[in-house]
Amino acid sequence: MTRASLDKQPHEVATMFDDVAERYDLTNDVLSFGQARLWRKEVAKAVDARPAQKVLDLAAGTATSSQPFAQAGAYVVPCDFSLGMLQVGKQRHPWMPFTAGDGMKLPFKDDVFDAVTISFGLRNIQDTGAALRELYRVTKPGGRVVICEFSHATWGPFRTVYEEYLMRALPPVARAVSSNPDAYVYLAESIRSWPDQPALADLLKEAGWSKVAWRNLTGGIVALHRGFKQS
């Protein structure tokens, strides 16, 4: 079994997600107490995919996150660098155009997508700035980015309880339901070390995105960031 380190070597992260691919969606539902489904609905609203639009869902894994965009009539490309995730996704959704790709060097031309989105994956890419610039590059002028990522709870006492859950309760729960519980120790550590909401907004602006804003979900445990590429 593989556990990535916080320097996020791409091969370590990819292998780690290969290991957990088969039960990844179930594990997420259990560990988030069902909140993961609510978060996906909020992402779908923020992306606001329309018929005939092209949507890139980066770090899509098994494409659970991609389904709302397809159901809205958009052409959605689920992209991930974990071949294990892509294989499981292709078995479940054989009609979807799964694409293997590195978030720091996307296999797409400039100005292709009306919307780009990444849910709970930006944190696992080695160079956050490079990923945000790549997402910007492949977005059409006037297009939008939506990032859903774990963040920092806004109320101090709640933040303390949440961080205790991450580091103490999450690993035992993961051992019960995940095929690679060590992967979830890494995920807990990566959440604690991730930039807060204003810091991620600054990174988006540095990458070129404009009209950057964010909205907290579940008390700031998760944040939705959105930005636009100037026309």
Distance CA 26, CA 34 (A): 10
Distance CA 40, CA 224 (A): 11
Residues 6+ apart with CB under 8 A from 36: 28, 29
Under 8 Å between Cβ of 94 and 122: no
| Strand ranges of the sheet holding 113-119, from the earlier edge strand across to the other edge | 99-100, 75-80, 54-58, 113-119, 139-150, 222-228, 210-217
Any binding-site annotation on 82? no
**Two tokens, residue 39:** 């978060």
Any binding-site annotation on 80? yes
Any binding-site annotation on 2? no
Any binding-site annotation on 62? yes
Any binding-site annotation on 57? no
Under 8 Å between Cβ of 80 and 101: yes
Annotated binding site for S-adenosyl-L-methionine: 62, 80, 102-103, 119
Annotated binding site: 62, 80, 102-103, 119
